Homo-oligomer: A and B are copies of this chain.
Amino acid sequence: MGVFGGIETGGSKWECAIGTGPDDLRATATFPTTTPAETIGQALAFFEREGPVAALGIGSFGPVDATVGSRTWGHITTTPKPGWSHADVGQEIRRRLGVPVAFDTDVNAAAVGEQRWGAAQGLDTFCYVTVGTGIGGGAMVGGHLVHGLVHPEFGHLRVPHDRDADPFDGVCPFHGDCWEGLASGRAIEARWGRRGEELAGTQAVWELEAKYLALGLVSAICILSPQRIVIGGGVMGGPGLLQLVRREVVAILNGYIEHEALGEHIDRYVSAPGLGSRAGAVGAIALAEAALSGLEV
């Protein structure tokens, strides 16, 4: 089978890895996201130096075109990130590396990784949510990644926003106070004037954050009925935040959906990732392996 390559192409950094899974990473590299040409060049240099790999998976920040057969497959589409709008990532890397390439969103790649080796093992219907600079979500239903029209864009759903309690307008350039606009790391920094890391002692920050995060998760629960929600990302390191989110999810649902997962087992239901910060790159390795075996995930 050989070994596989994985890249998580984040908006601020790229994580590259070579191996067969989280416990067998033969080489890794992390470098900042600059221009497409330079960043893709660094990734290619890494895989040429440390490879060869039998196939490569890419989990990308989005929105992306992940539709196999599309003329712009492998491209990042409407990102506001300067220089990256409509950038070709997947086709360029496939051409220059000369191996099969699987391309999906960073969160769908992480979902595959979490199912294979992390907190979603044995599940076929679940979602993976990351709360960092932005908010993203990926999902599997019946063992298949959700693509549909494009791919999920959890961050841009709307949640209730009580402007009397929280007059903050939100930071999303497209929507203002969508979920990401109210609850991402960027939103925390803009609302409170300091980064989350500096707000550890301010309980009100995390209580408000937990409310917004729970409202979005409740939408995911009502629409997808996931068997579990895996939620990670830098913001989730906030003090006690995961526990507050669980409490709010239960409070908002208010017993309507009768299931122990949404009651006594809520700590397992809303779960931290099993793969930590490498979920994206490791998930991309799982994508690569599936691509080579001709499996569609």
Measured CB to CB, the residues of A under 8 A from B are 63, 77-78, 125-127, 137, 139, 141-142, 144, 146-161, 174-175, 177, 215, 218-227, 252-259, 261-262
The residue among A161, A219, A226 with the most chain B CB atoms within 10 A of its own CB is: A219
Q: Would B224 and A174 count as touching, CB distance under 8 A?
A: no
Q: Decide: A158 near B125, CB < 8 A? Known: A137-B223, A174-B254, A255-B174.
A: no
Given the complex of chains A and B, what is the CA–CA distance between A255 and B63 in angstroms?
A: 12
Q: Would B175 and A254 count as touching, CB distance under 8 A?
A: yes
Known A63-B257, A150-B225; further 18 A-B contacts with Cβ < 8 A? A78-B256, A125-B147, A125-B148, A126-B148, A127-B223, A141-B146, A142-B144, A146-B224, A148-B224, A148-B226, A149-B257, A149-B259, A151-B225, A155-B222, A158-B215, A174-B256, A175-B256, A220-B223
Stoichiometry, copies per complex: 2
Q: Would A158 and B160 count as touching, CB distance under 8 A?
A: yes
State the Cβ distance, A46 to closest chain B Cβ, in Å. 31
Q: Would A146 and B225 count as touching, CB distance under 8 A?
A: yes
Q: Would B227 and A223 count as touching, CB distance under 8 A?
A: no
Q: Would A152 and B227 count as touching, CB distance under 8 A?
A: no
State the Cβ distance, A77 to closest chain B Cβ, in Å. 6
Given the complex of chains A and B, what is the CA–CA distance between A284 and B158 in angstroms?
A: 33
Residues of B within 8 A of A127 (CB): 223
State the Cβ distance, A260 to closest chain B Cβ, in Å. 10
Q: Would A175 and B252 count as touching, CB distance under 8 A?
A: yes
Residues of B within 8 A of A78 (CB): 255-258
State the Cβ distance, A289 to closest chain B Cβ, in Å. 20
Given the complex of chains A and B, what is the CA–CA distance between A208 and B17 in angstroms?
A: 50
Given the complex of chains A and B, what is the CA–CA distance between A155 and B126 in angstroms?
A: 20
Given the complex of chains A and B, what is the CA–CA distance between A154 and B82 in angstroms?
A: 37
Residues of B within 8 A of A126 (CB): 148
23 A-B residue contacts at CB 8 Å? A63-B256, A125-B149, A141-B142, A144-B144, A146-B224, A148-B224, A148-B226, A149-B227, A149-B257, A151-B225, A153-B257, A154-B222, A157-B218, A157-B219, A158-B215, A158-B219, A159-B160, A174-B255, A175-B252, A219-B219, A219-B223, A223-B223, A224-B224
